[in-house]
Structure 1
Amino acid sequence: TKFGRGSDVFPNHYSEKALRTSVDESTRRLGVNTLDVLQLHCIPTDVLRKGEVFNWLRKLKEDGMIKEFGASVETVEEGLLCLEQEGLLSLQVIFNLYRQKLLDVLLPAAKRLGVGIIVRLPLASGLLTGKFSKKTRFPENDHRNYNQNGEAFNVGETFAGLPFEKGIELTETIKNDFLPANMTMTQLALRWILDHDAVSCIIPGASSPQQVKLNADVSNMDPLPIELHKKLRAFYTREVHDSIRGAY
């Protein structure tokens, strides 16, 4: 369950009362007495830095309203701020072949502290499936249409912050130069993430039961060769990093 982006609190109306009300409403909807995990959902950096919201979370845990708490963040800075907080169970982050900056500091720090990493947008809004072309168009109500350049929210949440056509070009390079013969692009992208032992789980999207099964089956695949990891890291540094837009 998440808290923090509702119009009643975002971006500057956070309070302990609002948090407790949100938890009460969630438990009622779910028909439970306590929430297993409550995640802060991409709340402003300044609110994280002040830290008061974490005191409220710890109080909720003491009162038995939640069992654990974590945070979903948009930047390395925000992740590191959260890691300073006692009792943090997990961080939800954007981490994929086009967002490798987290490997430098954030993931090692989380691993050292025993904080779980939940990976969202592992396929960069579908870019890393390899199914799109420069001619692909998306419905008006799809963020891949209305937020391609950050018109509605952080551009980093759409296509990993890459301009769409640039993302298509990069994906074609991966497909042509780095994709093992026995793998799909989706399998490569998910297996690459799972090979990092700081990662606890991935939450990829799926549009059918078959896709859910295929995604889950990647957990049973062998790790990628170390040499391939090195090549993909060099590719990111050389070709991708400077094209990323938005908070990161």
Structure 2
Amino acid sequence: MNYRKLGKTGFNISEISLGTWQVGGRWGEPFDEANAERIINKAIDQGVNFIDTADVYSDGESEAAVAKVVKSRSEEIYIATKCGRQIQPHTSEGYTPEKLISYVEASLKNMKLETLDLVQLHCPPTEVYKRPEIFEAFDRLKEQGKIRHLGVSVEMVNEALMAMQYPNVTTVQIIYNMFRLKPSEKFFAAAKENDCGIIVRVPLASGLLTGKMSKSTQFGVDDHRHFNRNGEAFDKGETFSGVDFDLGLEAVEELKQLFPGQEPLAAWALRWVLMFPEVSTVIPGASRPEQVDSNIKASGLPALSEEQMQGVQQVYDKYIKPSVHQLW
């Protein structure tokens, strides 16, 4: 495993880490604590020292499972959680310092911790980034020793740029993959200038970039890849990176031609993300321990060639850019 600095936090973290949206079971299935513990332990065994969770993942069960495993290990593991998505309806008016502080305190209680390494606002509405009092609330939490650092998870590049105007924002979590190239245009350079850590989520475009899906692939009714393709429940960019499923399948077939050989497209898609030195870590999820092994293997792959990097850009320009680039 290779390690990179997480911006101004100073944390030295695994370049491939673990996202826990679907830990313990596939999307839409009941939480399986035993499976979650196997996945988390497997990740730590392989050198992962940064785990991302959220208070809304399986109604807090993900947070609790992560903390339980981390406390059972001797290694130093950084836990990042998120807050704010409990607010319904999810509008700027629903965000108050008091409410967010209560969510952080609930996460501390749920995980049986005294301090959280990193707390991230969980994709708040754009208007929230114009409200200094929301960000100042986390300074109080830091002074009280309840959190070490504040970060944000964003949907759009302009939200990332707005967030970095606040000095206490140390990290930005953002969607970045072969089907979502926009962040590297302006945001990456700005993050480097601000010494802001970049946490890349949805690196496999909800599984599209595994290369294992087809037009006949079925998803359960409680799986967001079934019910959120047009943003019915939350930002559609979280599902297949907002790319039309059939169009994405066409693009994947061309991407496969760029990476012939033993390793699956998923590994190369992760390795592609790591080609950008501004990225601190990428956090693919896993619903089985074997998927952790597959994800981590990407860290040891050789660098992509200039021809392969250009090929990814060309596939994006041909299939993806016209319909999604301007959206996020």
Whether 2:168 is the aligned partner of 1:87: answer yes
Match of 1:17 in 2: 98
**Structure 2 counterparts to residues 161-176 of structure 1, below 5 A:** 161-176=242-257
- Structure 1 residue 243: Cα displacement: 2.2
Q: Deviations along 1:99-128, whole A, 9 cap, x unmatched?
A: 001111001111221111111110000000
Q: Deviations along 1:55-74, whole A, 9 cap, x unmatched?
A: 11122112212110100000
Structure-2 change in CA distance of 1:49 and 1:237 (3 Å): farther
Q: Deviations along 1:85-109, whole A, 9 cap, x unmatched?
A: 1021111100000000111100111
Give the aligned CA root-mean-square deviation in angstroms: 1.6
Q: 1:153 is aligned with what amino acid? A: F
Match of 1:97 in 2: 178
Match of 1:180 in 2: 260
Match of 1:76 in 2: 157
Find the residue that maps to 1:66 and give its secondary structure.
coil
Q: Distance in 2 between matches of 1:244 and 1:10?
A: 23
Q: Is the 8 A contact 1:117 1:200 kept in 2?
A: yes
Q: Is the 8 A contact 1:161 1:246 kept in 2?
A: no
4+ aligned runs moved over 6 Å, structure 1: none
Match of 1:58 in 2: 139
Q: Distance in 2 between matches of 1:141 and 1:41?
A: 21
Match of 2:301 in 1: 221
Match of 1:211 in 2: 291
Match of 2:270 in 1: 190
- Structure 1 residue 53: Cα displacement: 1.1
Find the residue that maps to 1:90 and give its secondary structure.
strand
Query: Where does structure 1 lack aligned partners over 5 or more consecutive residues?
Result: none
Q: 1:189 is aligned with what amino acid? A: A
Whether 2:220 is the aligned partner of 1:139: answer yes
Q: Distance in 1 between matches of 2:322 and 2:232?
A: 21
Q: Is the 8 A contact 1:156 1:246 kept in 2?
A: no
Find the residue that maps to 1:125 and give its secondary structure.
helix
Find the residue that maps to 1:5 and give its secondary structure.
coil
Q: Distance in 1 between matches of 2:143 and 2:327?
A: 34
Aligned length: 247
Q: Is the 8 A contact 2:174 2:198 kept in 1?
A: yes
Structure-2 change in CA distance of 1:183 and 1:110 (3 Å): same
Q: Is the 8 A contact 2:254 2:315 kept in 1?
A: no
Q: Is the 8 A contact 2:84 2:103 kept in 1?
A: no
- Structure 1 residue 8: Cα displacement: 5.3
Range 5-14 or range 225-234, more displaced: 5-14
Q: Is the 8 A contact 2:176 2:183 kept in 1?
A: yes
Q: Distance in 2 between matches of 1:151 and 1:32?
A: 35
Q: Is the 8 A contact 1:155 1:245 kept in 2?
A: no
Q: Is the 8 A contact 1:37 1:66 kept in 2?
A: yes
Q: Is the 8 A contact 1:128 1:189 kept in 2?
A: yes
Find the residue that maps to 1:213 and give its secondary structure.
helix
Higher relative contact order (CA 8 A, sep 6+): 2
Q: Distance in 2 between matches of 1:206 and 1:29?
A: 22
Q: Distance in 2 between matches of 1:18 and 1:199?
A: 31
Structure-2 change in CA distance of 1:227 and 1:245 (3 Å): closer
Structure-2 change in CA distance of 1:247 and 1:239 (3 Å): closer
Q: Distance in 1 between matches of 2:327 and 2:314?
A: 22
Q: Distance in 2 between matches of 1:20 and 1:151?
A: 29
TM-score, length-scaled by structure 1: 0.95
Q: 2:288 is aligned with what amino acid? A: S
Q: Distance in 1 between matches of 2:216 and 2:144?
A: 54
Q: Is the 8 A contact 1:38 1:68 kept in 2?
A: yes
- Structure 1 residue 206: Cα displacement: 1.4
Structure-2 change in CA distance of 1:211 and 1:48 (3 Å): same
Query: Where does structure 2 lack aligned partners over 5 or more consecutive residues?
Result: 1-80
Whether 2:128 is the aligned partner of 1:47: answer yes
Whether 2:230 is the aligned partner of 1:149: answer yes
Q: Distance in 2 between matches of 1:226 and 1:51?
A: 43
